[in-house]
Structure 1
């Protein structure tokens, strides 16, 4: 379906909080200005969009440790030479991680912090794999700026300080020596660095240098692997050097749906991008409405229904009872769309065919583009830092279920349901561009709102990120930002939604967008107004 309906200007503001950025020779958009500068520098040195993405990602582990680190997972969608490629660099559970082992330790669910939720980190392997297949500059050159930032330090920005302070409070509640290394590394004085204060991490620099010199092998089979193993053993973890040695990221074919004459692409499960595609697929089954409230209501309801399917069915691809083709079939999406009525409903999952995070986007003048995301899951992750290495380990394993009948049940060397998702838009045989919204379970919802803003409502890249966001929480409860228009909130409430206004915008995600004009090649970029982000052109 092709539509030309534009909605209420009070909801979709005509004036952005920032001006849209344009460029010709390249562009980098991410949540930290220093990291964006690193990516632009790599492009200026002759690197391509992939090189810039790797360098930016490594720099983000230093300047935004509140969301990601060397111990993160990662996903990427790469457009190179007119073709899309997907990389799944999420890590499996350790071999010793079983439901029985967790219950024997006294847990009825996997804890959020400590060593038990730690799965194999995939980010260093993602950097090396991307560089080997598509990079132009030597791998060591790509990590050099991040190493310098870690050694020399950087001035902490306001939003990062806020998240850092929250982590100090969270980990400070534990009376456990396992968290000592986190405080030694990130809060040696017992508090978060203040905005404008210089923070450096020599151990982080040394780890990045070793990763650069070995193309990440030290992290999986060398000295860093040995140190991770020793720390895990000391503090009751299940991760071992054998788990690390057996790890390799997976190249995958992105999955997509046709929407508004464009193709929207996501990484296949275990990533949660399928939720985005289901929601858009449902909306495409419905005739477009010129009524703003009806449009918002439908987008919310479609997202709720898609999310319930995600919670029910999504896990590692080989362990799913239904294929992505079944979950995205026209027949199934039509049946799900038929559940969207005039009033809000308590959503339930369907049954087809019965029987914490940083995001970056890069582009170069040759037409290559990268959508890249890496994450510790919740903030700094598990709170586990390998002493004197700066390596903070993610807590992605806390997403597993200890119910053996659940699709996402914990099992050795299984990959869990993953919230982090890079997005990409194409039209015909042309790349339109990468987009992403980080922020845990907000991410699929943010993708839906960005895509519909761009393709249904005619917003530019910056305006699509600026518009007030909504977030489904559970049942009929929808949180909205403080500047969400009152008349629309009241109208949605009359349709049965429980609307809750939230003052803190950080929980509504942080996104980046780069779009390419197919005729002129001009790049258009937007960056998130809810964080310290930057989009820099070349």
Structure 2
């Protein structure tokens, strides 16, 4: 139990249904869907659509999504890959012949075909109960009539203002007074409202064909992209087989490659050989083990994870007990490793949400345009912000993540699902680009090893390893920082909060749901 004399908030507790998102307007809209008898998938897509309007720096219909879903909370874990592919003309040689050594982050070349709308439509058709126009109605209303800019959104928006100013449509829509809106400002996106209304009426065709597709392809071609109307028309997500490992008595499920979810499972396999529960949750030894496990797992990720339709990824071998034992043996509990290659890390702005309905259908859902406002390119008539997920491709001839026609890049956004005895105990996720596997492991082990409730697990201060140093949030105790330094780590202060997350804990015996939402964002968990 938390100390009520200190700032903070309790977890949200309910019996019937619950939603946890990074924005209160999205949580409220999704809860209304659940109260109407909507399915957890209806509520998830409703929330994602609202977030695409009210958190424009983090997500949008010009991005991608992934979903893990457990019908009635037990049995099979269903996984949907709603990530986009490179254009059919995107040959690595084309870029190298023109002097590219990497895919420019904020360019048309970094734009993969958005997968979110295809995924939303498919998931609603296959699992939802309510019609699409009802699901998208709150998002349409906020885009058309206006929404109040919240505090974390405003801070992120301000950081991206210079990039938005470089695109005429982006500047017009997102810098309406020549600058980023401040918290408390009412903002409108009428072009996006019209696009959402078209999708509500026509489904995926309203986005991938006709005037919206023509607007987006025209903008991309104008900016030098290789995209075509045929690329948009061919966009389609896939049901895929999720990957899993057991941590203590919990089965943890993730998206398979090309998603980086495997990275979290490798970390958990390594940490499973240590008695974390006997260590101080914010002590130097626990954080050191977390960092070292992360460094090993991320090195594997960067070398091997890619689109399995284009490269062989040895999933079973990477998740084997023998591989975990070998990796764990390289960790010195008292000294940082010095022989690992540097692993460049990228932040991103993403939204993650959890939903559990009265039938215990459980959805873990994530949606993103990657970097803040994605590529910075916006469709002038559609109001769609285009993602820059293709910046994750490589141009190295021998690398498994090399760009190729209709190929998916290594993808960072990852929903998680935890189960025990064949039943869901928590849909959960932590956003934040490359931080996500690290963040998921930190939050999940807070629950499993330390018995924290979802809110306490999410609240707890975080560290990460990037650019050759451990970066520590201000909540990490000074003694832990000194302990990390004594083990040979360079330690630097985190310049911004590390990620943001949501979790809903399902207690089958008590018949209750307990939710938490990250204070590093503007969000809320709500239930009834």
The answer as to 2:57 corresponding to 1:66 is yes
1:251–1:94 Cα change, 3 Å: same
2: CA distance between counterparts of 1:418 and 1:238?
21
Aligned to 1:56: 47
Aligned to 2:219: 231
> Which consecutive segments of 4 or more residues in structure 1 shift more than 6 A?
12-16
Q: Which runs of 5+ in 2 are unaligned?
A: 342-348
The answer as to 2:209 corresponding to 1:216 is no
Q: After alignment, is 103-112 or 308-317 more displaced?
A: 103-112
2: CA distance between counterparts of 1:114 and 1:167?
15
Aligned to 2:417: 424
| TM-score normalised by length of structure 2 | 0.94
The answer as to 2:483 corresponding to 1:483 is no
Q: How does 1:279-318 map to 2 (within 5 A)?
A: 279-288=267-276, 290-292=278-280, 293-318=284-309
Aligned residues: 515
Q: After alignment, is 311-320 or 404-413 more displaced?
A: 311-320
Aligned to 2:346: none
Aligned to 2:344: none
2: CA distance between counterparts of 1:230 and 1:318?
29
1:153 pairs, out of 146, 159, 166, with 146
2: CA distance between counterparts of 1:288 and 1:473?
23
Q: Deviations over 1:133-180 (max 9, x none)?
A: 1101112210011001101101101110111111112344x4xxxx11
Shift of 1:503: 4.8
| TM-score normalised by length of structure 1 | 0.93
Q: How does 1:267-282 map to 2 (within 5 A)?
A: 267-282=255-270
Query: Secondary structure at 1:393's aligned position in 2?
Result: coil
2: CA distance between counterparts of 1:434 and 1:94?
33
2: CA distance between counterparts of 1:276 and 1:509?
15
Q: How does 1:457-496 map to 2 (within 5 A)?
A: 457-475=450-468, 477-496=469-488
Query: Secondary structure at 1:516's aligned position in 2?
Result: strand
Q: How does 1:129-528 map to 2 (within 5 A)?
A: 129-172=122-165, 174=166, 179-288=167-276, 290-292=278-280, 293-341=284-332, 342-346=334-338, 348=340, 356-475=349-468, 477-505=469-497, 508-528=498-518
C-alpha root-mean-square deviation of aligned residues, in Å? 1.8
Indicate if the aligned counterparts of 1:434 and 1:514 stay in contact, CA closer than 8 A.
yes
Q: After alignment, is 210-219 or 456-465 more displaced?
A: 210-219
Query: Secondary structure at 2:427's aligned position in 1?
Result: strand
The answer as to 2:81 corresponding to 1:93 is no
Query: Secondary structure at 1:317's aligned position in 2?
Result: coil
Query: Secondary structure at 2:77's aligned position in 1?
Result: strand
1: CA distance between counterparts of 2:479 and 2:433?
29
Q: Deviations over 1:186-214 (max 9, x none)?
A: 11322111110100011000000111111
Indicate if the aligned counterparts of 2:9 and 2:455 stay in contact, CA closer than 8 A.
yes
Q: Deviations over 1:444-468 (max 9, x none)?
A: 1100101110101111100001100
